Structure 1
Amino acid sequence: MNEAVELLDGAGALLICAGAGMGVDSGLPDFRGGEGFWRAYPPYARLGLRFEELADPRHFAEDPELAWGFYGHRLSLYRRTVPHDGFRLLLSLGARLPGGVRVFTSNVDGQFQKAGFEFVAEAHGSIHHLQCLGGCTDDIWPADMDVVVDEETMRAVPPLPSCPRCGGLARPNILMFGDVSWVPDRSQAQLDELTAWRRTARDLVVVELGAGQAVPTVRRYSELASAATGALIRINPREPQIRHGRGVSIAAGALETLKQLLPR
């Protein structure tokens, strides 16, 4: 903890890299493993469907009510969720640094934007934006509709979200498993901005929170961003280890650690 405090005291800019564990302290479900997912969504346990199976774009074509039941429920959940106080602590720290703060996340929940962060690179897209399932256009538009979900069956009730151009089914602008149709333009623009900022950021410190090894997108990015200096703080209660010891690892949850690291 002392090493982490020293790194933050010397920071000129802050890069936050966040995985799904960042949202647990806000009350969002932990999808780690089948049992964790099924505790959050008992109807899927009865059907024997795992997260990896539901997060597959083929369901939008084969069974759109099932697909939109899952994503519509999550959209509603994320809209209702209030970001925990750790978001505010990080935002306050970034505001005091000359180089400011940026976020890189695999999360699709929009919690950083809700907490007030202006520059967020969403590597896997956002549930708050949609694209055409049929590919009539590469346009991406806000998900400004409500999806009614029968919580007994976890199936969406028509009408389902549609493309304003062709009238066909819409899907979330999220990179799913085995997804070859995701439109990456919005996320790529965010990543390009982040890359340009990193080139100018001096005394950059990377704080990684809740990023596991199962989908290592965030862990790889945080290690890349801190490779030259080793100024990486990895906060993870289950998988805190850092390759080659290039950084500081803290085996604890996001909120409890941030409260200790950052002044209120």
Structure 2
Amino acid sequence: MWLQIASPRAFQDSPELAWGFYGHRLSLYRETVPHAGFELLKRWGKKTINGLSVFTSNVDGQFQKAGFDPALVYDCHGSIHHLQCLAPCREDVWSAEDFLPDVDQDSCRLRNAPPMCPHCGALARPNVLMFGDWAWIERRSASQADRQEKWLSQVSRPVVIELGAGTAIPSVRHFSHRVIHEFGGRLIRINPGEWEVPTRLDVGLPMGAANGLVSIAKILGDEWCSPATGGGDG
């Protein structure tokens, strides 16, 4: 079911069901409060010479919601908070802030009008990379990637703090290992089930993201607070 809904074909065959699924997620992400670990990451980044850069496969926008500079974030799979034309009629991406989904929780179907393309009037869809997706508009994410590449070219001995990134969809893991091999970086992998690290110089912590970051803060003697419910890893 997940594979069928998380695809552009679902918006063509059953737009009410597809937007019911993604509209429900959009509402949840808008209501989710980022956990305390995000604040720790921001504070640590401010203490470094070159600051920080975020690579995330999550589409929930939690880093931006937690107050990270959007110019420092690379959403490699897009963002549910942005829309594009389903066709698409042109390479345009726009904010979803004006769309307020009304979803029937029992049937997971959208009850109100779905968002439409402002250019051609066709159905709009989330600017998220889905399964079997050849129509995803990558322009926004590509611009983010360019900024991150520029940042990587200016840093030395970067440290990757990898949060909750598994091997099923290994986009984040590929990035982490690339930083190790191409930029001489080191890795701190925080993952409750897949915490093993590629070299003896890296660190693996078998725990959730919020607890892992707070545990690091304790070791560093940094100020910290108990993790709040919510947020997402990536």
TM-score normalised per structure 2: 0.89
Decide whether the 8 Å contact of 2:29 with 2:60 is kept in 1. yes
Aligned equivalent of 1:103: 54
Q: Which runs of 5+ in 1 are unaligned?
A: 1-48
CA distance in 2, matches of 1:244, 1:116: 33
CA distance in 2, matches of 1:120, 1:244: 27
CA distance in 2, matches of 1:135, 1:255: 38
Report SS of the residue matched to 2:53: strand
Task: Report the structure, 1 or 2, having the larger helix content.
Answer: 1
CA distance in 1, matches of 2:185, 2:193: 21
CA distance in 2, matches of 1:176, 1:246: 35
CA distance in 1, matches of 2:201, 2:102: 47
Aligned equivalent of 1:54: 5
Paired AA for residue 136 in structure 1: C
Residue 53 of structure 1, CA deviation:
2.5
Report SS of the residue matched to 2:176: helix
1:220 equivalenced with 2:174 (yes/no):
yes
CA distance in 2, matches of 1:246, 1:189: 32
Decide whether the 8 Å contact of 2:37 with 2:214 is kept in 1. yes
CA distance in 1, matches of 2:82, 2:201: 36
CA distance in 2, matches of 1:259, 1:244: 24
Relative to structure 1, the CA distance from residue 230 to residue 192 in structure 2 (aligned partners, 3 Å threshold; closer, same or farther) is: closer
Decide whether the 8 Å contact of 1:230 with 1:247 is kept in 2. no
Give the total of aligned pairs.
215
TM-score normalised per structure 1: 0.79
Decide whether the 8 Å contact of 2:101 with 2:110 is kept in 1. yes
CA distance in 2, matches of 1:166, 1:94: 43
Please identify runs of 4+ aligned residues in structure 1 that moved more than 4 A.
none
CA distance in 2, matches of 1:230, 1:203: 5
Relative to structure 1, the CA distance from residue 230 to residue 100 in structure 2 (aligned partners, 3 Å threshold; closer, same or farther) is: closer
Residue 96 of structure 1, CA deviation:
1.3
Deviates more, 1:123-132 or 1:159-168: 159-168
Paired AA for residue 160 in structure 2: V
Aligned equivalent of 2:119: 165
Aligned equivalent of 2:228: none
Aligned equivalent of 2:23: 72
Decide whether the 8 Å contact of 2:157 with 2:185 is kept in 1. no
CA distance in 1, matches of 2:214, 2:190: 12
1:139 equivalenced with 2:89 (yes/no):
no
Aligned-residue RMSD, C-alpha: 1.1
1:208 equivalenced with 2:162 (yes/no):
yes
Post-superposition CA distance 1:189-236 (Å, at most 9, x none): 001100110000123111101000000000010110122535111110
1:260 equivalenced with 2:215 (yes/no):
yes
Q: Which runs of 5+ in 2 are unaligned?
A: 224-234
Report SS of the residue matched to 1:86: helix
CA distance in 1, matches of 2:184, 2:135: 37
Aligned equivalent of 2:206: 251
Paired AA for residue 54 in structure 1: I
CA distance in 2, matches of 1:147, 1:164: 18
Aligned equivalent of 1:83: 34
Specify which of 181, 190, 195 is matched with residue 135 of structure 2.
181
Residue 244 of structure 1, CA deviation:
4.4
CA distance in 1, matches of 2:138, 2:200: 33
Post-superposition CA distance 1:53-85 (Å, at most 9, x none): 321110000000010000000000000001000
Q: Percent identity?
A: 50
CA distance in 1, matches of 2:192, 2:113: 42
Aligned equivalent of 2:231: none
The higher relative CO (CA closer than 8 Å, separation ≥ 6) is in 1
Aligned equivalent of 1:238: 193
